[in-house]
Amino acid sequence: RAAEWQLDQPAWSGRLRITAKGSTAFIKLEDKTSGELFAQAPVEQFPGIAVEGVTDSSRYFVIRIEDGNGRRAFIGVGFVDRGDAFDFNVALQDHFKWVRQQSELARQAQDLEQGPKLDLGFKEGQTIKLNIANMKKKEGGTGSTRPRPAGPGGLSLLPPPPGGKSGSGERPAPPSTPAQLPGTPITDSLLSWPQPAAAPAADVWGDFAKASG
């Protein structure tokens, strides 16, 4: 209990800093003017025996200081301002939260290294099927499935049979429009262009015939 301490006559006053080296945090009590180290308390776990809060105040704590030669002592420290005591708590909590995160990341990395590795290689005789849009598979392995070009009116134009004969032995009907052979004039009146009507010959003497005298 902080009430049992001589709060009106502290044995020492100065500044407190928290530093970290690896996973260990160090509470350092230093002279507020010269910065000389008065005592330090290594903290390997929080909450833990190295730092404990008192039961009757949120501004006072008991810390375990060490001199580096194996000697330890428990002393009581307190803060005049309640906000400084809050920052003291938060600094220790943030440090050990970071320590837990690093430990978890290291454990996950070790599990990945020790676990079975995924083999993405093809086994002997293994095949893969790809389904690509707008691609038609050839039927029977021969011939092309490309559609024939459509003629006028949307009808497909079939190539003429060999020898100029149809499959039934009948000759195809001649086209309705006669074709022009090289060097042969077209005499069909349906294909003749309309000729312009001949202009009537002008009577060049008419004006003189009408003139009197």
Domains of the chain with CATH codes: 2-114 (2.30.29.30)
Give residue 144's identity as a one-letter amino acid code.
S
Helix H or strand E encompassing 212: none
Residue-by-residue pLDDT tens, the chain, 213 positions: 888 888 788 889 999 999 999 999 999 999 988 989 999 999 998 888 999 999 999 999 999 999 888 899 999 999 989 999 999 999 999 999 999 998 888 888 877 777 666 667 777 777 877 777 766 555 554 555 565 555 555 555 566 666 555 445 555 555 555 555 555 555 544 555 555 555 555 555 555 555 555
Closest CA to 18 of 67, 70, 89: 89
Asked if omega into 149 is within 30° of 0 (cis), the reply is no
User: What is the DSSP-derived secondary structure letter of residue 206?
Assistant: H
Closest CA to 97 of 49, 45, 48: 45
Task: List the structure tokens of 13.
Answer: 């006053």
pTM comes to 0.50
